[in-house]
């Protein structure tokens, strides 16, 4: 990439030193004036009603500013459709807020919680998505909650379908194309089954944080550890009828799970309104693990037909999507999940798949990396392996035949079909398979690649694709002031290096040193509108908007310089804060002479989103299984994609590696939420019992990255993959495990040691023999 100064080159992150030395400011570090501490009393029961609540002693405690319960909380609701209240007399999961206290410090707030007296009446709970939809199941919500959307109503623990993704179009919750019965009749192999992808904890190391204070009756200031400040403020602003300003300093990790922060923001804003003071609610790590939003809980009950030559002919199924006691944007995840499956199995002509969003007395579900498609494909593609085994075709060959190619049409989240006219991943299949030595390692379905003593090894493959990388409108502007370039866009810093990429784009276009570019702190007061850093979209959308803004600012700079230099703007160029004549560089002016003190030159940029670009990441894995203990470990992994132009090579490598951990590949065999069905409480509520991968157990990891320079809105032809790097991982891992153990079937994620031993017939009654 020698033709570029910054693009494709390793550059020091401008915020890197502050982050690694501890100087970077996170939400809880902000000096928010006169800010009180919020603490929450949580329900001890999975399903209950409050018979009585007495907060008088807590309110009298010195240092307590106020207490909020269902009796004095604002009548607001969040979720899709609006259904989850700020507080309710009807408690729906262990952790549901019963009361919130604002006090001078955390110690006083916690003491106040102990002074609140509550009498509960327990109700029967329901946890399983299938059980919740049966006649007579406990009702998580009731008719009087009036939950409806687009003419659909809540019924038998199923929320109405559809989200604001579809706009005024019908809800997108099913794909019905062709004739599935005819497709099954034309198939050589038809398989049926049920696969479950249970809920996991996609939380980042840093717990969520929200602070809020009202300026007046219609203006609220919010500080939030969110990767999408507009996702925080805009939906809630419509709900409460107020204007919300959101500031997001360094976020730390997010994994999509701290995107909207919908409920805890509503709770904090409500407490600030009730008490009349600014309050901050920083979840403890225990609260984060016990009560905060999970990944979707899923079951796919389906039927798939294929031909002997590896063509998928028909797919039918029910996708039961468990959203716990609340849905932040589950219907949107359903819409994207259906689209992502349609991209992966694009050559299938016959579809009949329908999703139901089911509430239960589990922890509510929220946004998480993978956003629906990871969960659905982990289930549906695993069922598909049963058919591939019968025709003896390896998965790489099969998916290359059936994956969406340039010009193919695919459904996306609006329920309409789109087509990608250019981007094609055929070459990526070949390059990645060769680099992983796939066809040497692959020995057939249910056959280990090798066995060494009690350790058996197997390989697996899967892929993930999204139609979001150029979705939704994005605005940005760039200011030139003296010797500085100021970039304004609503992109938070949450660990992925996206802000560095934007700084490099502006620096490249303006041909200045990177240290002269500043990305403004993410703040909705000063930054223009943007959907947010979700769906791998910011590489194209924010990159394109910043690129256009930098080009516009550069053109204005040259035009103003031309007036001073007595020539046309076309005669001029700029480098290192100097404007010079192309034919005689000695004739030049410094920027400060064109843009002096108290003077700005501003360029604006916008990218109008579309769904006619799909990205793709392929995951290859080798897994080692201890046949005596059932413990599975990833020993070798390769991730592959064609990313167009590489903007940040080091950060790209780290994004691929980040696909291993929380919310990604490790949900295939490590990460599991364990619920006690008697008390309804999560038992894996610490970082010992919840099995995150430690840094000293990273496997061998490699990448295969192609650069085809796609014609996207990004000025250098890049396409984003940040969200999806590990999304295909769980399906690849479970495939590899089954191959390692000789083809014994496992139909539930994660494949923990007990499930592997059960599949091998080495466990009875839940106990290892």
Q: DSSP letters of 53-104?
A: EE-HHHHHSTTEEEEE-TTTS-S-EETTTT-EESS-SEE-STT-EEEEEEES
Among left, alpha and beta (phi > 0; psi -120 to 50; other), residue 178 is left
Q: How far apart are CA 743 and CA 757, in angstroms?
A: 13
DSSP three-state, residue 257: coil
Instruction: Indicate the helix (H) or strand (E) that contains 233.
Output: helix 229-240
Helices (H), 91-186: 106-114, 129-132, 180-185
Classify domain 32-123+206-252+258-291 by CATH architecture. Answer: Alpha-Beta Complex (3.90)
Q: How far apart are CA 712 and CA 692, in angstroms?
A: 36
Q: Tell me how far apart the terminal alpha carbons of the chain are, to the nearest angstrom.
A: 59
- Strand pairing category for 35-42 and 278-282: parallel
Enumerate residues 6+ apart whose C-beta is below 8 A from 467. 336, 339, 340, 343, 410, 412, 413, 418, 611, 613, 614
DSSP-assigned letters across all residues of 754-766: HHHHHHTT-EETT
What is the reported pLDDT for 1?
A: 40
Q: Which CATH number fits domain 16-24+472-607: 3.40.630.30, 3.30.365.10, 3.40.50.1370, 3.30.1180.20?
A: 3.30.365.10
Greatest extent of the chain over all pairs of C-alpha atoms, in Å: 90
- For 407-448, write each residue's pLDDT tens digit: 999 999 999 999 988 889 999 999 999 999 999 999 999 999
Cβ 364 vs Cβ 165: under 8 Å: no
Which residues of the chain, if any, have pLDDT below 50? Answer: 1, 765-769
What is the reported pLDDT for 764?
A: 52
Q: How far apart are CA 616 and CA 633, in angstroms?
A: 25
Q: How far apart are CA 498 and CA 326, in angstroms?
A: 31
Q: How far apart are CA 564 and CA 568, in angstroms?
A: 10
Count of CA atoms in the C-beta half-sphere (13 A) of 392: 3
Tokens 């550890």, residue located:
225
- For 131-142, write each residue's pLDDT tens digit: 999 999 999 999
Q: Which CATH number fits domain 297-469+611-768: 3.90.1150.10, 3.30.1370.100, 3.30.365.10, 3.30.160.270?
A: 3.30.365.10
Q: How far apart are CA 390 and CA 79, in angstroms?
A: 43
Helices (H), 345-457: 373-391, 395-402, 426-436, 438-441
Residue 648's Cβ-count burial label (10 Å; 0-12, 13-18, 19+) is buried
- Strand pairing category for 278-282 and 174-177: unpaired
What is the reported pLDDT for 2?
A: 54
Q: How far apart are CA 130 and CA 140, in angstroms?
A: 14
Q: Enumerate the CATH 3.30.365.10 domain ranges in the chain, comma separated.
A: 16-24+472-607, 297-469+611-768
- Strand pairing category for 243-248 and 219-224: parallel
DSSP state of 394: -
Question: What are the tokens at 570?
Answer: 């076309």
- For 290-301, write each residue's pLDDT tens digit: 999 999 999 999
Q: How far is CA 62 from CA 66, 105, 682, 684, in A?
A: 11, 11, 34, 36
Q: Enumerate the CATH 3.90.1170.50 domain ranges in the chain, comma separated.
A: 32-123+206-252+258-291
Q: How far apart are CA 501 and CA 658, in angstroms?
A: 18
Cβ 60 vs Cβ 270: under 8 Å: no
């Amino acid at each position: 990439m020698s033709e570029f100064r910054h693009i494709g080159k390793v550059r020091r992150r401008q915020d890197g030193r502050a982050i690694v030395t501890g100087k970077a400011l996170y939400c809880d570090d902000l000096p928010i004036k006169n800010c009180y501490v919020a603490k929450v009393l949580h329900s001890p029961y999975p399903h209950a009603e409050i018979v009585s609540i007495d907060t008088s002693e807590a309110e009298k405690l010195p240092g307590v500013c106020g207490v909020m319960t269902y009796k004095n909380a604002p009548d607001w609701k969040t979720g899709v459709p609006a259904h989850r209240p700020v507080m309710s007399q009807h408690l729906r999961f262990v952790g549901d807020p019963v009361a919130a206290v604002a006090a001078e410090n955390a110690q006083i707030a916690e003491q106040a919680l102990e002074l609140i007296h509550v009498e509960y009446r327990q109700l029967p709970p329901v946890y399983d998505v299938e059980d919740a939809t049966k006649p007579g199941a406990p009702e998580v919500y009731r008719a009087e909650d009036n939950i409806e959307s687009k003419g659909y109503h809540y019924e038998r623990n199923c929320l109405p379908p559809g989200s604001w993704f579809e706009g005024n179009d019908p809800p997108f919750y099913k794909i019905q194309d062709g004739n599935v019965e005819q497709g099954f009749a034309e198939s050589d192999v038809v398989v049926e089954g049920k696969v479950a992808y249970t809920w996991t904890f996609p939380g980042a190391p840093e717990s969520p944080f929200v602070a809020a204070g009202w300026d007046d009756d219609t203006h609220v200031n919010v500080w939030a550890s969110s990767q999408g400040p507009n996702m925080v403020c805009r939906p809630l602003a419509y709900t409460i009828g107020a204007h919300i300003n959101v500031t997001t300093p360094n976020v730390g990790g997010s994994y999509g799970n701290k995107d909207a922060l919908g409920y805890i923001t509503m709770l904090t804003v409500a407490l600030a309104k009730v008490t009349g003071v600014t309050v901050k609610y920083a979840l403890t790590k225990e609260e984060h693990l016990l009560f905060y939003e999970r990944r979707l809980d899923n079951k796919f009950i389906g039927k798939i037909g294929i031909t002997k030559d590896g063509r998928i002919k028909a797919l039918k199924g029910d996708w039961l999507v468990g959203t716990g006691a609340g849905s932040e944007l589950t219907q949107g995840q359903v819409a994207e999940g259906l689209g992502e499956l349609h991209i992966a199995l694009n050559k299938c002509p016959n579809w009949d798949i329908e999703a139901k969003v089911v509430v239960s007395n589990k922890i509510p579900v929220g946004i998480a990396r993978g956003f629906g498609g990871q969960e659905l494909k982990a289930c549906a593609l695993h069922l598909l392996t049963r058919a591939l085994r019968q025709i003896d075709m390896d998965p790489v060959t099969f998916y290359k035949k059936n994956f969406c190619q340039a010009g193919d049409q695919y459904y996306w989240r609006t329920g309409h079909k789109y087509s990608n006219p250019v981007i094609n991943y055929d070459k990526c299949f070949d390059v990645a398979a060769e680099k992983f030595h796939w066809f040497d390692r692959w020995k057939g379905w249910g056959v280990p690649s090798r066995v060494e003593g009690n350790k058996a090894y197997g390989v697996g493959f899967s892929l993930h694709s999204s139609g979001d990388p150029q979705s939704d409108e994005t605005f940005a502007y760039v200011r030139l002031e003296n010797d500085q370039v100021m970039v304004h866009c609503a992109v938070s810093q949450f660990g992925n290096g996206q802000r560095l990429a934007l700084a490099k784009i502006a620096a490249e276009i303006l041909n200045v040193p990177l240290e002269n570019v500043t990305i403004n702190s993410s703040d909705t007061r000063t930054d223009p509108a943007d959907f947010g850093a979700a769906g791998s979209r910011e590489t194209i959308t924010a990159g394109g908007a910043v690129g256009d803004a930098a080009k516009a600012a550069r053109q204005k700079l040259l035009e103003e310089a031309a007036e001073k230099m007595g020539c046309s703007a076309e005669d001029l160029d700029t480098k290192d804060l100097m404007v010079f004549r192309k034919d005689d560089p000695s004739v030049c002016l410094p920027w400060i002479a064109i843009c002096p003190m108290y003077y700005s030159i501003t360029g604006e940029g916008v990218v109008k989103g579309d769904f006619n670009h799909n990205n793709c990441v392929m995951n290859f894995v080798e897994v080692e299984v201890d046949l005596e203990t059932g413990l599975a470990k990833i020993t070798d992994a390769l991730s592959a994609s064609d990313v167009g132009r590489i903007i940040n090579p080091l950060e790209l490598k780290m994004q691929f590696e980040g696909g291993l951990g929380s919310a990604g590949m490790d949900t295939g065999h490590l990460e599991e939420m364990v619920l006690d069905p008697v008390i309804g409480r999560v038992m894996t509520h610490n970082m010992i019992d919840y099995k995150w991968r430690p840094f000293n157990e990273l496997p061998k990891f490699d990448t295969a990255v192609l650069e085809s320079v796609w014609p996207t809105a990004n000025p250098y032809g890049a396409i984003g993959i940040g969200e999806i790097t590990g999304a295909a991982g769980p399906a690849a891992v479970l495939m590899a495990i089954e191959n390692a153990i000789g083809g014994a079937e496992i139909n539930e994620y994660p494949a923990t040691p007990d499930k592997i031993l059960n599949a091998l017939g080495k466990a009875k009654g839940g106990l290892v023999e």
